Amino acid sequence: MTEAGYLVEVDPSEVDEPEPRPGIATADYVANLAWCKASAVARRRGSGLVLAADTACAVEGEILNKPMDRADAERMIRLQEGRDTEVFTGLCLYRADRNVWVGTVEVSIVRFRVLDDAERNNFLDSNRWEGKAGAYGIQDRDPFVSIAQGSHTNVVGLPMERLESILREFPILTS
């Protein structure tokens, strides 16, 4: 955000990020989490514009959240190898003093190449998978993943193009 010229103050929501319920659509899961985070901060602060986002990956409808441990990260990486993975980011902008909010979900597609055992183990040993939806971060410039369709910033976790569009489309949020 600051790289894009926005003045921001970080205020963690402290909202739990539970594992998705069976059968929930990935878009619904991330949209709900983004709204829960934004509304929690908006209620606590009482004024200002609050931005919250949440990202998850999905392969054939299976939601890949943040891995619990190395074994879970390996399961996620193996599942994505040689396939396209959908990356969903729920975004919510909440104007606290007016109780007005706008939410959206952005979707991108990431392509994974197949890794050999040494590459996979090297990646897992690096712990770069920790705290990252789908067990990877495209911002880490890992050579086994590339964007097939959509926004790089969405895959990182905050779709800046969509954020800027919402700010233009809904002046009530910033006026």
What residues contact residue 9 under an 8 Å CB cut-off, 6+ apart? none
Residue 72 bears catalytic tag: no
CA dist 65 → 19, 29, 93, 168 (Å)? 7, 10, 22, 31
Which residue, chain included where needed, has tokens 């959908």? 86
Choice among 16, 54, 117, 125 that is catalytic = 54
Of 127, 58, 108, nearest in space to 136 by CA: 127
As annotated, the active-site residues are 54
